[in-house]
């Protein structure tokens, strides 16, 4: 929930007592990654009207604001519904409001205004793409563990399942029965990406939302929707993790091109190494920063350093086998949940490398 009532002058201000409109505006602000101040009327808005970085005024309060003679702000956004069309322009003129937004058509525009003006005006999220050196390498498990670890250490995280033939990343997290928008619903919509509507769960000080495939056979993710998803993730999250298939499709290419880092997970085996060499040729065309995570056991005693040298990619880390993990995953237990074990330890290090120190949450 992004609503906040304590006075914080740097937050956008929403002035409305129309509950349905308020719900829509809070949803858009959340999708834009910002909290807002809410005032039901001009009396409640007065103290913050001039200092808020953005004022969004519902048409229900436009007449009251005129009567209250609030200071004129040319950047005020007057928000209405199609039914208000005539009145909204008239009020905008009288109030000197510089913008009129008619919902739902103007939702993407308003979302951008919230994103640009909110306290979430921090650096864009880091984007990490994970792929496997061979089938069953452990890439999806690694992607899920990285995202969970980042969320549990206070980051806002978007995890994107980009493998249409995978079983669904929601299954890896044990979230398959959770409500929320998945790829099918997203692609059937009009392309609007509302991250808080995805499958998710607040986790400690950070939170994780997941865009997952489900059990139905679906066409590949449309690249333009992937672009919009990554844009929204970059704007409003601290970390975006994308699990892509080895055979790259257009959406996977979009993700690799947007990535700050590509992580190739590879079992410490000869045949996996030779398979990975082919995957790397393709991935390296689109991603500058590829690195390896080598997963044991190593039946032929091949070392992580040997694999890294032979593939000419830097070694980001190694994973000792975790005997209990396959059974735990089958029971719907998310990987690295307890924060212990080789996978959790490596993920913490990589998250710290990527995102910097854990954010300090104000009391």
Residues that bind Mg ion (CB under 5 A): 139-140, 166
Please state whether the peptide bond connecting residue 305 to the residue before it is cis, i.e. omega within 30 degrees of 0. no
Name, in order, each residue with C-beta under 8 angstroms of 122's C-beta and a sequence gap of 6 or more.
238
Question: 225 — alpha (psi -120 to 50), left (phi > 0) or beta?
Answer: alpha
| Nearer to ligand ATP (CB atom), residue 118 or residue 138 | 138
Site for ligand ATP in 243-302 (CB under 6 A): 295
Q: How many residues bind ligand ATP (CB under 6 A)?
A: 18
List the single partner that 329 binds among Mg ion, ligand ATP, none, CB under 5 to 8 Å by kind: ligand ATP
179 and 230 in contact (C-beta within 8 Å)?
no
Percentages (nearest 5) of helix, strand, coil residues in the chain: 40, 20, 40
Report the C-alpha gap between 42 and 14 in whole angstroms. Answer: 11
Using the rule CB under 6 A, give the single segment among 128-136, 247-255, 275-283, 310-318 that binds ligand ATP.
Answer: 128-136
Report the C-alpha gap between 149 and 165 in whole angstroms. Answer: 25
2 and 30 in contact (C-beta within 8 Å)?
yes
Site for ligand ATP in 30-89 (CB under 6 A): none
Report the C-alpha gap between 256 and 193 in whole angstroms. Answer: 20
Question: 56 — alpha (psi -120 to 50), left (phi > 0) or beta?
Answer: beta
Site for ligand ATP in 334-353 (CB under 6 A): 343
Dihedral (Cα; 333, 335, 255, 151), 10-degree rounding? 90
Sheet containing strand 13-15, edge to edge, reads 3-4, 36-39, 13-15, 55-58, 77-80, 99-102
In the bound complex, what is the minimum distance in angstroms from residue 358's beta carbon to ligand ATP? 24
| Nearer to ligand ATP (CB atom), residue 135 or residue 191 | 135
In the bound complex, what is the minimum distance in angstroms from residue 244's beta carbon to Mg ion? 9
Question: Phi/psi of residue 300, each to 5°?
Answer: -100, 10
In the bound complex, what is the minimum distance in angstroms from residue 165's beta carbon to ligand ATP? 8
Q: Rule CB under 6 A: choose which of 279, 322, 337, 351 binds ligand ATP.
A: 322
| Nearer to ligand ATP (CB atom), residue 45 or residue 148 | 148
| Nearer to ligand ATP (CB atom), residue 222 or residue 321 | 321
- The CA-atom distances, in angstroms, between 88 and each of 4, 57, 73, 80, 85 are 27, 11, 16, 7, 5
Question: H or E stretch including 184?
Answer: helix 183-188
Report the C-alpha gap between 45 and 191 in whole angstroms. Answer: 34
| Nearer to ligand ATP (CB atom), residue 186 or residue 264 | 264
Using the rule CB under 6 A, give the single segment among 131-139, 146-154, 189-197, 219-227 that binds ligand ATP.
Answer: 131-139
List the single partner that 321 binds among ligand ATP, Mg ion, none, CB under 5 to 8 Å by kind: ligand ATP
Q: Rule CB under 6 A: choose which of 313, 329, 347, 354 binds ligand ATP.
A: 329
Using the rule CB under 6 A, give the single segment among 26-34, 173-181, 299-307, 314-322 that binds ligand ATP.
Answer: 314-322
Q: Rule CB under 6 A: choose which of 44, 166, 180, 223 binds ligand ATP.
A: 166
Using the rule CB under 6 A, give the single segment among 54-62, 112-120, 133-141, 173-181 that binds ligand ATP.
Answer: 133-141
Does the protein bind ligand ATP through residue 140 (CB under 6 A)? yes
Residues that bind ligand ATP (CB under 6 A): 132, 135-141, 163, 166, 295, 319, 321-322, 325-326, 329, 343
């Amino acid at each position: 929930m992004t609503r906040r009532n304590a006075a914080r002058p740097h937050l956008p201000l929403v002035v409305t007592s129309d509950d349905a409109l308020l719900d829509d505006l809070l949803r858009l602000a959340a999708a834009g990654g910002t909290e807002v101040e809410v005032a039901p009327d001009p009396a409640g808005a007065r103290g913050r009207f001039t200092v808020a970085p953005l004022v969004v005024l519902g048409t229900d309060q436009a007449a009251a604001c005129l009567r209250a003679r609030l200071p004129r702000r040319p950047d005020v956004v007057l928000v209405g519904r199609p039914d208000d069309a005539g009145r909204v322009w008239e009020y905008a003129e009288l109030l000197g409001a510089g913008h009129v937004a008619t919902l739902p058509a103007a939702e993407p525009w308003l979302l951008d205004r919230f994103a640009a003006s909110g306290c979430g005006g921090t650096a864009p999220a880091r984007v990490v793409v994970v792929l496997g050196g061979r089938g069953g390498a452990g890439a999806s498990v690694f992607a899920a563990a990285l995202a969970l670890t980042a969320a549990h250490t206070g980051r806002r995280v978007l995890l994107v399942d980009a493998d249409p033939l995978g079983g669904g990343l929601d299954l890896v997290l044990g979230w398959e029965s959770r409500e929320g928008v998945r790829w099918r619903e997203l692609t059937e919509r009009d392309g609007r990406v509302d991250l808080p509507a995805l499958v998710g769960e607040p986790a400690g000080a950070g939170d994780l939302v997941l865009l997952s495939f489900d059990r139905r056979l679906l066409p590949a993710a449309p690249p333009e929707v992937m672009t919009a998803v990554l844009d929204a993730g970059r704007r409003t999250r601290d970390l975006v993790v994308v699990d892509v298939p080895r055979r790259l499709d257009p959406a996977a290419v979009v993700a690799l091109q947007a990535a700050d880092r590509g992580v190739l997970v590879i079992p410490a085996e000869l045949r996996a190494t030779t398979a990975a060499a082919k995957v790397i040729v393709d991935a390296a065309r689109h991603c500058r920063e590829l690195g390896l995570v080598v997963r044991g056991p190593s039946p032929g005693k091949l070392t992580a350093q040997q694999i890294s040298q032979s593939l000419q990619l830097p070694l980001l880390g190694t994973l000792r086998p975790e005997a209990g993990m396959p059974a735990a995953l089958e029971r719907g237990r998310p990987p690295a949940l307890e924060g212990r074990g080789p996978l959790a330890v490596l993920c913490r290090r990589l998250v710290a490398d990527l995102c910097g120190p854990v954010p300090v949450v104000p009391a």
